[in-house]
Chain A
């Protein structure tokens, strides 16, 4: 069979940036049969707008227990502030209709401490159902089944909600759940498999996606928030962007995020900042590098949220005496020594690319200029 494709070749020229002068953008070939929506979900109706809801009461004193009731209030206040609606359900109706098939993109790689938290995900599902979406039309998803199983949202969510992972585990063995006709092709480091394919769930089933990232440091991107969660959590074969201390995340994160239908269907960004990771991310196997921002951010513009996130992570690292996420000094690099990275916050295993947020902004995914980002802060 022949297929209709919309092939876009991104230029090989780098996007000018004073912090990523070394980046030479690979030649990307984007293959998809999906056209953008008239108003794509990213940056959506609120470009440059971020609602930050903070509460000192959202966590127990030791930071280990989440207060469900406080999270519920934070969610309601945040959604109302984002849209200007008096009722939360009306705010949700701006994004979701009862006929939608909704994906809830969680982040579980930071298990057990820094994941899309149970009460926050439960509150999202509760609001979806309040809008009229049946549980059977809701999919909580991430890429790896073993990680999703470990976090185990089931007991916290209504019966009938679906849980979906594309691969059994992070072993690069399973491709059946990826769409062979929707992919980004690029030769990054001479890898044989030059394609990253979109989840079939995204391309063929979901009509809307709600993105729930965390506030985390990341060894390759500097920080991982909205863009990386939706991009690297929606495509196969993405670990290939890091090799021998070098990463192509600078351009790859935004490039994946822009692929249709992912861009058009991702309509809401809710950043779970109850807990965060300031070093060693995206994992959080211990509490060693966990910190407690005690906030949730709301928006439709992933670039704006991530631009703010870069500062949150970098400020926390500075406060702890760790090198900046913008540090490109090769003397900090020990690319074959993950153990040392875990022990020493001044060791990188990859030259970080926080400029990926700016790059995504230049692709039209949102507002990067901090002067144009309007933050409304709410205290609960």
Chain B
């Protein structure tokens, strides 16, 4: 096949590209320039957006022996990922930008462009697997569960999965680093990236405050009584306990947690641990990674964070919303996050959480 390898400058995408070449594919390396004003040097745990990273990607492509190009996707990234991130926070939700980037950039803008240019698909260094089944190509968890990235890939449609190649899903990260060293790739020991790539300081709350302003608003309890103040509701996360700065203690001295963020009234609602508990959730804008989910309640698992646990549940789809009822109650769940349904290790689909109960 003729493939485009998306190369961030990190160890994973470099090994993925090398493996694709070894598998006999014709591969061209592409680094995505996602920032209009990239910083010169990498700092902290961010792994793809600096000029240093693009040099690392180029060097890896040269060592592997494949052509290398840089594609300017800064505008698409800003519109599809950064703006979405801000808009979601402004609505009191907690978005996952990596998921949005896979949905709108890597397996949309890049894959579409690649296909139009005559390529068959896109190779990335994501830790996930695909399988060819009678029902088509399906998406599965990686062997290395600690690195599994199927959660952030759950926004891919069947059509997108068909054009996605994940060569690393059958290997642990430790072995990928070893393999990179054996292949003479200088990025073998490059640190993993963790932070949000477009927040250079790593200070998400500060970054949001600079862009969304910091309007002071009330912190109230479940009865609506004001018990404190905040300077920007969106800098809080559901389930957050620390940093609330509350001076009015609860009757029994138990801690308070963020239960709800109300962007319109700029209010943060807090309450007890028990009040955080939820047993069901609904998600909008579902995407199916295989056959669509039906109205029939089905047993499976739901995951609500990138590296969270798979929670046993019963799920169904009513034609508009994806429903999941948990076997056991869960503490603290923010709307805006993705609920990803698994059937064993297969990704069934995902939706954006819009309601919890």
Is the A/B pair a real complex? no
**B contact set with A: CB distance below 8 Å:** none
Interface residues of A (CB under 8 A from B): none
